[in-house]
Amino acid sequence: MPFDLKEIASISGMPGLYKIVAPTRNGIIVESLSEKPARSVAQARNRVSILQEISMYTNDEEHTVPLAEIFDRIRKQYGSDLPVTSKSSTQELSSFLESVLPDYDQDRVYASDMKKLAQWYQIVNQFVPYTEETEETAAPTQETEGDAAASAE
């Protein structure tokens, strides 16, 4: 995925998103993703959610879509100009999410989830570098197929 969300976290009781810097004995050192980044310690009692591990429900009971993939879809469709904010109405947020993820589960994805999605995307888009997928990532699979065909002959 083009956005690397492995070290980006949401922490209960602390507004915004944070980059994980280092572990400590009693928690983790984090740096806020903001214009003026500030370091602080997230205690072990705080619930830390790594964005890489968050996914959104779809109508298929067996399938969820990772947040990084949703962010990628949003970037391809809207770029950095989102038509909604975390203050938008529930209907606006719902139609926005439906344009990005048409099969999201409307019963299990709440308005608060959609607001977080819009808010988090704005922060991630501003402070986390986006790496374009290059042809180099696709080339090894083509070479592998060619090698397999050559060895089969």
Flag whether 97 is in a domain. Answer: yes
* CB neighbourhood size of 14 (10 A): 15
On whether residue 110 sits in a domain, the answer given is yes
Exposure class string for 123-134: b at 16+ Cβ within 10 A, else e: bbbeebeeeeee
Query: What is the average pLDDT across 58-80?
Result: 91
Span 33-56, average pLDDT: 92
Q: Is the pLDDT of residue 29 over 70?
A: yes
| Residues 65 and 122 both lie in one domain | yes
Both 12 and 76 in one domain: the answer is: no
- Residue 72, domain extent: 54-127
Which long-range contacts link 66-70 to residues 24+ away (Cβ below 8 Å)? 66/1, 67/5, 67/117, 67/120, 68/1, 68/2, 68/3, 68/5, 69/1, 70/100, 70/101, 70/117
| Each residue's pLDDT tens digit, 41-50 | 998 888 999 9
Q: What is the pTM of this model?
A: 0.80
In-domain check, residue 136: no
CA distance 111 to 93: 7
Q: In what order do the strands lie in the sheet with 8-11?
A: 39-43, 27-32, 14-23, 8-11, 48-50
Same domain, 42 and 78: no
CATH number, residue 41? 2.30.30
Question: Are 46 and 65 within one domain?
Answer: no
The answer on 32 and 58 residing in a single domain is no
Q: Is the pLDDT of residue 70 over 80?
A: yes
What is the pLDDT at residue 86? Answer: 87
Residue 153 has pLDDT above 60, yes or no: no
What average pLDDT does the segment 40-69 reach? 92
Q: What is the pLDDT of residue 133?
A: 60
Domain membership flag for residue 38: yes
90-144: per-residue pLDDT in tens?
A: 999 999 999 999 999 999 999 999 999 999 999 998 888 777 664 444 444 444 4
Whether 59 and 104 map to the same domain: the answer is yes
Q: What is the pLDDT of residue 67?
A: 94
Instruction: Indicate if 83 and 47 belong to the same structural domain.
Output: no
**Could you give the number of structural domains in the chain?**
2
With respect to residue 91, please indicate whether it lies within any of the assigned structural domains. yes
For residue 151, tell me if it sits in a domain.
no
The verdict on 70 and 122 lying in the same domain is yes
